[in-house]
């Protein structure tokens, strides 16, 4: 019965793909600029988006974006406008320094009663002079900067992609084709664990970039004490991106570490309080982009998040209750088309295979139809 149901859903999705499909990329911005004083220029942008999701099992976890399979369930349809965004930035010059701010919001705040509350996505001040720049505030994490070409808001959260937007103090230095980066970053305090994690992540990254190719290596470390237990989380990341003569491009990340959780959207995979140790993990993703002219784009890829099962042990042969899974793998494909500079639409297919805490595997599919107007 389940195989027949999945087959019907897959056939419906393939029919939609055959018709014409697309989806907005995260960096699709049509910026409008105005001068608000003799020395300050302002730019603003936004988009309204409507995503329609069909899930064959429970992969939402009350997040509205794809994460991992949480259990078996009947087919579910969800209408989701929460990735609607509004943003602005300013720019001014003084004593040779370029100064400004960036602020952007979406509607992934509190979902109580379907009151889709706005929340801060980006909010930072930037200072730049020659090859030196500073960013102070909430920005994308400086380690693991690549993101897959996906329609789904989650972009492989708990699925091999390290990402989040976290308050930080970051300095960058450009030296020819090389960029050096140093950063301190830490979640704002929102619960008892974050209150006890007094020290921020200390991060370094070296990147080489030339003619559409990029290779970067980075590492992070912190030392914290939570509930009387000392932890020493660390993380190493390899990033890569390359173009293939304009016909295709490939990007991705490979990483290994221990104790990296909340700042990288891997909640529940940082510490094992039963065994008083950090949880070691490895993972990564590969994303392939195939452009078909200026308006048509095809993306496909795969991601894997693999915690060390030994570090998930509860000491009596099971898995600790705080761990969301033992392993999670995601395969995705989407086809995107822009009808105009403002209007785009498209479809995406995800296949998620999650090994549960009881060591059984549950797989699920998500089919997304996305429509957006960007201004």
Residues 75/58, Cβ–Cβ less than 8 Å: no
The pLDDT confidence band at residue 61, using thresholds 50, 70 and 90, is low
**Cα separation of 222 and 233, whole Å?**
6
Rounded mean pLDDT, 351-364: 96
Q: Among residues 202, 188, 205, which one has the least CA distance to residue 143? A: 205
In the chain, what percentage of residues exceed pLDDT 90?
81
pLDDT at 62: 65
Between 161 and 109, the more confident residue is 161
Rounded mean pLDDT, 15-44: 62
Between 92 and 17, the more confident residue is 92
pLDDT at position 182 over 80: yes
Residue-level length of the chain: 375
| Torsion sign, CA atoms 318, 323, 324, 327 | negative
Domain 2-374 homologous superfamily, CATH: Porin (2.40.160.10)
pLDDT at 244: 84
Task: Please report which helix (H) or strand (E) contains residue 203, including its range.
Answer: strand 201-210
**Cα separation of 184 and 125, whole Å?**
15
> 3-state DSSP helix/strand/coil percent for the chain, to nearest 5?
10, 55, 40
**Cα separation of 102 and 178, whole Å?**
25
- Pick from 19-33, 89-103, 169-183, 320-334: least confident: 19-33
For residue 265, count CB atoms less than 10 angstroms from its CB and return exposed for 0-12, middle for 13-18, buried for 19 or more. buried
The pLDDT confidence band at residue 28, using thresholds 50, 70 and 90, is low
Sketch the domain layout of the chain as residue ranges. Answer: 2-374
DSSP state of 65: S
Rounded mean pLDDT, 7-25: 37
Residues 140/169, Cβ–Cβ less than 8 Å: no
Task: Please report which helix (H) or strand (E) contains residue 192, including its range.
Answer: helix 192-196
Residue 218 β-bridge partners: 205, 237
Q: Report residue 265: phi and psi, to 5°.
A: 50, 55
pLDDT at position 118 over 80: yes
pLDDT at 75: 92
The pLDDT confidence band at residue 32, using thresholds 50, 70 and 90, is confident
CA atoms within 13 Å, Cβ hemisphere of 44? 6
Residues 251/243, Cβ–Cβ less than 8 Å: no
The pLDDT confidence band at residue 246, using thresholds 50, 70 and 90, is confident
The residues, any chain, with a CB within 8 Å of residue 345's CB and separated by 6 or more, are 20, 21, 22, 23, 337, 339, 369, 370, 371, 372
For residue 11, count CB atoms less than 10 angstroms from its CB and return exposed for 0-12, middle for 13-18, buried for 19 or more. exposed
Between 279 and 15, the more confident residue is 279
- Pick from 70-74, 179-183, 235-239: least confident: 70-74
**Cα separation of 104 and 96, whole Å?**
27
pLDDT digits (tens, 9 = 90+) for 260-299: 999 999 999 999 999 999 999 999 999 999 999 889 999 9
Rounded mean pLDDT, 73-87: 93
pLDDT at position 212 over 60: yes
Residues 185/194, Cβ–Cβ less than 8 Å: no
**Cα separation of 124 and 223, whole Å?**
26
The rounded radius of gyration (Å) of the Cα atoms in the chain is 21
């Amino acid at each position: 019965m389940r195989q027949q149901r999945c087959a019907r859903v897959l056939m419906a999705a393939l029919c939609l793909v055959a018709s014409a499909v697309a989806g907005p990329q995260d960096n699709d911005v049509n910026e409008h600029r105005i001068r608000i004083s003799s020395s300050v220029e302002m730019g603003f942008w936004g988009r309204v988006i409507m995503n329609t999701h069909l899930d064959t099992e429970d992969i939402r976890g009350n997040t509205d974006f794809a994460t991992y399979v949480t259990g078996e369930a009947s087919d579910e349809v969800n209408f989701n406008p929460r990735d609607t965004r509004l943003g602005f930035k300013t720019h001014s010059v003084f004593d040779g320094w370029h100064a400004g701010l960036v602020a952007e919001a979406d509607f992934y705040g509190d979902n109580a009663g379907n009151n889709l509350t706005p929340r801060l996505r980006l909010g930072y001040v930037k200072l730049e002079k020659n090859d030196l720049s500073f960013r102070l505030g909430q920005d994308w994490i400086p380690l693991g900067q690549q993101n897959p070409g996906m329609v789904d808001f989650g972009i492989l959260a708990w699925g091999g992609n390290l990402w989040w937007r976290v308050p930080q103090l970051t300095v960058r230095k450009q030296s020819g084709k090389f960029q050096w980066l140093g950063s301190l970053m830490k979640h704002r305090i929102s619960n008892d664990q974050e209150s006890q994690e007094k020290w921020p992540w200390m991060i370094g990254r070296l990147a080489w970039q030339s003619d559409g190719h990029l290779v970067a290596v980075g590492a992070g470390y912190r030392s914290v004490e939570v509930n009387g237990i000392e932890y020493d989380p660390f993380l190493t990341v390899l990033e890569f991106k390359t173009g293939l003569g304009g016909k295709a491009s490939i990007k991705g990340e490979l990483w290994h570490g221990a104790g990296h959780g909340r700042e990288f959207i891997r909640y529940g995979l940082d510490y094992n309080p039963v065994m008083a140790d950090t949880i070691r993990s490895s993972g990564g993703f590969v994303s392939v982009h195939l452009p078909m002219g200026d308006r048509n784009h095809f993306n496909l890829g795969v991601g894997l998040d693999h915690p060390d099962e030994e570090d998930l042990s509860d000491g009596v042969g099971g898995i600790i209750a705080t761990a969301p899974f033992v392993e999670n793998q995601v395969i995705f494909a989407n086809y995107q088309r822009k009808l105009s500079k403002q209007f785009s639409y498209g479809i995406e297919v995800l296949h998620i295979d999650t090994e549960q805490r009881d060591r059984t595997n549950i797989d699920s599919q998500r089919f997304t139809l996305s429509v957006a107007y960007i201004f």
